[in-house]
Structure 1
Amino acid sequence: MEILLPFLPAFAIAYSILLVGASSPGPAVAMLMGISVGQGRSAGLFACAGIATGSATINVLTIAGVGLILSQAAWAMMILKAAGSAYLAYLAYGAFKKALHPPRIAAQVVARQSGTALFTKGYLLQVTNPKAITFWLAIAGVGATAHAPLWVIALFVATMWVISFACHAAWALALSAAPVRTAYNHARRYIEGALGAFFAFAAFKLITARS
């Protein structure tokens, strides 16, 4: 357990970025809402599992790719941190823009499908989303698993899967109820403002943190 302690601060930063990012509504939320409303909440959870597994896939690939790059050039971490910070700043800008002009969120119409098809739909949505890939590169810039043994990396990937699943499942379950969607749309301005403030803070912390 003592081996894990040095990695916990970076874990906490990565967790907080994922927690807020996965809680920010986007195409996945609209899809999940449509599935939950049209096919039931259990169907929505199958899609959530696919999204979380897609996130885990990108997580593993970014960890492997970033590790390879950093093993060849130590200065690459600064470039990665700068790119990650820029992306988080872009997310902050987008959130503040939505706070000023909040769009209404509506469920997509989704035909009834099997659990396997729903899982695959969620998985493909995530792994083919350029924003998701860039987001995970920003998380990789935190360096949470730098020089970590394999079991620490496995723990990091597993816990990140749980966070991704839990956040998307919360959307699928909550927004399947019409009163919750109405309340959310009324509060969207304040939610987006809070998200913008968080992403701006995360961008500042990432670019100013020591490697």
Structure 2
Amino acid sequence: MQDFSSYLPGIFLAYSAFLLAIASPGPNILAVIGTSMGIGRHSGISLALGVASGSFTWALLTVFGLSAILAAYASALWVIKILGGAYLLWLAFKALKSAASRHDIEARELAGGRRTPSGYFRRGYVIQMTNPKAALAWIAIISLGLQKGAPLWVGAAIVLGTFLLSIAIHVLYAVAFSTPVMVRLYGKSRRVIQGVLGTFFAVAGVRLLTGRS
């Protein structure tokens, strides 16, 4: 039981980092919002499920990749932590810069015409899997929860937990932003949200860089 509880803070920290990362709209979230507003809630949900499936794939690839690297090269943990911590600090900079900006979010309908629900699902998956920042983001998230010598269930808990959170949050975006009212409400609170995100990413980045291996 003691071993179980010792890994929980890292797992919950990884969950928190994931939740806050998707609270700040990027290309995938803006695509979901734009699709829900421009076409309809059901199309937005299909796109959201595709994005969530892409997140699940990235999480699996990252967990197995990092586990394999750490099994072969135990000293590689500090390199992974440096990469993850540096990326979190970059996210902090971007979030704080966005908080200081007056520029609001721009949610637009996807180019290429209307699609079937399966077409939007595939498009969402492709959007997430071709995001060049996704690999670094998942290295940072997994690094927060995957300690040296952690058992397999820790990685599984992070992957499954973030997958369920991804489905819930992306679908929530699709449903909530199916009307322009929510976009306006978000715009009014955007600076505060981005400021909180920037602070969290900065603290998490410093923690990851200065924490013990």
* Aligned partner letter, 1:17: A
Deviation at 1:152, TM superposition (A): 4.8
Q: 1:21 maps to what in 2?
A: 21
- Structure 2 CA distance, aligned partners of 1:2 and 1:143? 16
Alignment match of 2:168 (pick from 140, 150, 166): 166
Deviation at 1:171, TM superposition (A): 2.0
5 Å-filtered alignment, 1:48-197, equals 48-110=48-110, 111-144=113-146, 146-149=149-152, 151-197=153-199
> 1:130 aligns to what SS in structure 2?
coil
Deviations, residues 127-180 of structure 1 (Å, cap 9, x unaligned):
11011111001112224375323x554343221101112222222222222122
Q: Does the aligned pair in 1 maintain the 2:48–2:170 contact within 8 Å? A: yes
Deviation at 1:186, TM superposition (A): 2.1
The TM-score with structure 2 as length reference comes to 0.90
The TM-score with structure 1 as length reference comes to 0.91
- Structure 1 CA distance, aligned partners of 2:187 and 2:145? 36
- Structure 2 CA distance, aligned partners of 1:127 and 1:57? 8
- Structure 2 CA distance, aligned partners of 1:104 and 1:67? 39
Farther-moved stretch of structure 1 (105-114 vs 67-76): 105-114
Structure 2 gap segments, 5+ residues each: none
| Residues 121 and 72 of structure 1, relative CA distance in 2, 3 Å threshold | same
* Aligned partner letter, 2:150: H
> 2:74 aligns to what SS in structure 1?
coil
- Structure 1 CA distance, aligned partners of 2:194 and 2:145? 27
Sequence identity, in percent?
A: 38
| Residues 85 and 102 of structure 1, relative CA distance in 2, 3 Å threshold | farther
Give the number of equivalent residue pairs.
210
Farther-moved stretch of structure 1 (156-165 vs 79-88): 156-165
> 1:16 aligns to what SS in structure 2?
helix
Deviations, residues 25-81 of structure 1 (Å, cap 9, x unaligned):
111122111211233212211111111111111111111111121112222111111
